[in-house]
Structure 1
Amino acid sequence: MKNFALIGVAGYVAPRHLKAIKETGNNLIAALDKSDSVGVLDSYFPDADFFVELERFDRHIEKLKRKENTCLDYLSICTPNYLHDSHIRFALRSGANAICEKPLVLNPWNLDVLEAIENESKGKINTILQLRLHPDIIALKEKVEREKKNEKYDVDLTYITSRGSWYQTSWKGEESKSGGIATNIGIHFFDMLLWIFGEVQECRVYLKEKDKMSGYLELEKARVRWYLSIDKNTLPKKNRELGQNIYRHMMVDGEEIEFSDGFTDLHTKSYEYILKGKGFDLLDAKPSVNLVYDIRNKERVNFGEKHFLL
């Protein structure tokens, strides 16, 4: 049984991490969040110590190590995107391995510094790239590798996830803190595309608004038209009528790739891989971090390869 701590336990994604820690047979010894609305802990680790201040959390971890010979093995990080870099450093300074939600960092150059710190530490940095563990996505990657086409695949990727007015008021609505929607809701999909179809050769942004973005990617093996939105009015009519707030859609050469099922259930599998020493690391995270940074800083251009929703 490994000892875990979790920073950002009141956040949206934290329950998936709590569930993963529990289901892999490990123990949460401490949690931290500036919000004290953390009743979710009672469903998983009611005995975990809880703190609202990093200084007291830090002191507690140090006390456990020195006075009770209880070392922290892993620190799970579910905090706002702009804090990931700092909290990864905290994990390594504490002698623990880091398990960090996406995006690992907002700016590519931070990865180089983290790599240097990791090399000086006994801990390892892991990130959650759960789509690489989705059976249907693995099958698509194997198909692409098996077919070895001379021509590039044509890909349409759409992800719409309705968000209320709270989104823009929160840290997620501030690009300097979240990286914007291409980073905050899109990085898993961009990582998936790069993992399957290879490196970026060209990147264009056609639509660039706070609640929706669209663009085009030329990859080694694919031409990709992508669309991301948090505006409920962009959901297909059928989804709105059924009260469905999320729409995921990917077409590859006219064939639909269905990967909605199991999308939110892959954190436990991610933890299983990490605990076996097979987690995704800085090198795995780098291509998608570079890409979303590029998208964030691209000037919008006129429509070319138009996405089917535009």
Structure 2
Amino acid sequence: MTKNYGLIGAAGYIAPRHMKAIRETSGILKTAYDLNDSIGIMDSFFPDASFFTEFEQFEADVYSRRTDGERVDYIGICSPNYLHKAHMGFALRAGADAICEKPLVLNPSEIDELAALEKETGHRINSILQLRLHPAILALKDKIAQSGPDRIHDVDLGYFTSRGSWYYASWKGYEHKSGGIATNIGVHFYDMLSFIFGPLKSSVVHYRAADASAGYLEFQQARVRWVLSINRAHLPAQTPEGQTTYRSITVDDEEVEFSGGFTDLHTASYHGILGGNGFGLDAVRPSIELVSSIRSAAIEPRKGERHPDLAKVINT
């Protein structure tokens, strides 16, 4: 049966992946909203969809469609992080299920509030956790499982993605809106790590600033040294010339290559949601608890093992 969709944050970077997923799962985008009206991309997917730059108009349009054949079944949410909770609340109260980008929320208490709203409305929240569907990550998860439950693996995670001054002027540069580097950029890595290596046992923060963060994690089956940065000056020496992004994840000194294969992961996520196998609130709770604790934890630079690339971050 064809499903109807609404989309919040339709002019954003990630929204086209949702439009593509809706189309490739035989859905119809009925209505969309964004403050920004640079939204010509919609013509490539759903040229007949309604579009609004005022949320009140979008809200009225969603409610006006609550008739057979027009009812909005799902609302995709690609808005700034700090607005996710409010937009998911709207979706559920409007009689739709929500499909929300990560981080789902900024604080664990918000998950509890959303769980109560799910119960109240009878509708469901689904989170996009596409790394859990990546073939390379699934293969690694199987490999770790086959190594036995008592094997503890050594993992290094380094992610350097250069951002200009625009980043700090946007909502992403304000911790109360984005959650900071570890939340905005790192949350999907932390979710991936718990998905593969089991529950988190402990966390230490070695460094925390507006442009970088680093620490040490222990999961049930892994010891993880991690560092994240958006500062071009922090790029490791081994970064290929001309590139402004460097990512490396090693498990027991073996590089995990999963840079490719991302194109269809949103579509795979939508297939899972439509089949009743989406990732709900319980799935996202561990990563939200972790990023929340990273924001407030005491800095302990000498506790636990430090990522080898952290030295450059600190000394730059």
TM-score range, shorter chain: over 0.9
- In 2, distance between residues paired with 1:275 and 1:265? 15
Contact 1:96 1:122 in 2 (8 A): no
Q: In structure 2, the residue corresponding to 1:189 is in which secondary structure?
A: helix
Aligned mates of 1:191, 1:69 — CA distance in 2: 37
1:20 aligns with 2:36: no
Question: How far 1:91 moved relative to its partner?
Answer: 0.5
- For residues 291 and 264 of structure 1, do their structure 2 counterparts lie closer, same or farther at Cα, with a shift above 3 Å needed? farther
Q: Deviations over 1:51-108 (max 9, x none)?
A: 1111111111111225x75100100000000000000010001110100000111010
Q: Which runs of 5+ in 1 are unaligned?
A: none
| Letter aligned with residue 231 of structure 1 | N
SS at match of 2:36: coil
The match for 2:50 is 49
Deviates more, 1:84-93 or 1:200-209: 200-209
In structure 2, the partner of 1:61 is 62
Query: Within 5 Å, which residues of 2 pair with 1:253-268?
Result: 253-268=252-267
Cα contact 1:72–1:96 (8 A) shared by 2: yes
Deviation of the 1:291 alpha carbon: 0.4
Return the alpha-carbon distance in structure 2 between the equivalents of residues 299 and 58 of structure 1: 42
CA contact (8 A) 2:236 2:309 kept: no
Deviation at 1:161, TM superposition (A): 1.4
Aligned twin of 1:95: 95
Note the C-alpha offset of 1:220: 1.1
Compared CA separation, residues 200 and 213, structure 1 to 2 (3 A): same
Paired with 2:149 and 2:127, the residues of 1 have a C-alpha distance of 31
Contact 2:6–2:29 under 8 Å retained in 1: yes
Counterpart amino acid of residue 191 in structure 2: D
Alignment TM-score, normalising by the size of structure 1: 0.96
Structure 2: how far apart are the matches of 1:233 and 1:14? Answer: 30
Q: Distance in 2 between matches of 1:177 and 1:267?
A: 24
Matches within 5 A, 1:158-197: 158-197=158-197
Q: In percent, how many aligned pairs have the same letter?
A: 55
Partner of 1:279: helix, strand, or coil? coil
Q: Contact 2:33 / 2:54 at 8 angstroms: preserved in 1?
A: yes
In structure 2, how many angstroms separate the alpha carbons of the residues matched to 1:307 and 1:27? 46
- Number of residue-to-residue matches in the alignment: 308
In the alignment, the residues of structure 2 paired with residue 11 and residue 69 of structure 1 have an alpha-carbon distance, to the nearest angstrom, of 28
Classify the secondary structure of the residue corresponding to 1:228: strand
1:136 is aligned to 136
3-state SS of the aligned residue for 2:90? helix
Asked if the contact 2:158/2:248 (under 8 Å) is kept, the reply is: yes
Over 3 Å counting, the alpha-carbon distance change for 1:222 and 1:238 in structure 2 is closer
Unaligned stretches of 5+ residues in structure 2: 311-316
Q: Distance in 2 between the 1:223 and 1:176 partners?
A: 29
Change (3 A) 1:264 1:163: farther
**1:238-285 residue CA offsets vs partner (Å, 9 max, x unmatched):** 5351x3232221111111111111235411111111111111000001
Q: CA deviation at 1:28?
A: 0.4
- Aligned counterpart, 1:224: 224
Moved over 6 A (4+): none
1:245 matched to which residue of 2? 244
Match of 2:287 in 1: 288
Whole-angstrom CA distance in 1 between matches of 2:270 and 2:234: 34
Residues 257/240 of structure 1: CA separation in 2 closer, same or farther (3 Å cut): closer
| Aligned alpha-carbon RMSD (Å) | 1.4
1:92-134 Cα deviation digits (max 9, x unpaired):
0111010000011101011111111101223211000000001
Query: Is 1:82–1:177's contact at 8 Å kept on the other side of the alignment?
Result: yes
1:74-153 alignment to 2 at 5 Å?
74-153=74-153
Match of 1:213 in 2: 213
- In structure 2, give the amino acid aligned to 1:72: V
Deviation at 1:213, TM superposition (A): 0.7
Q: Which residue of 2 aligns with 1:198?
A: 198
Partner Cα separation in structure 2 for residue 203 and residue 113 of structure 1: 25
Report the alpha carbon displacement of residue 149 of structure 1 after superposing the two structures with TM: 4.9
> Residue 265 and residue 245 in structure 1: after superposition, are their counterparts in 2 closer, same or farther (change >3 A)?
farther
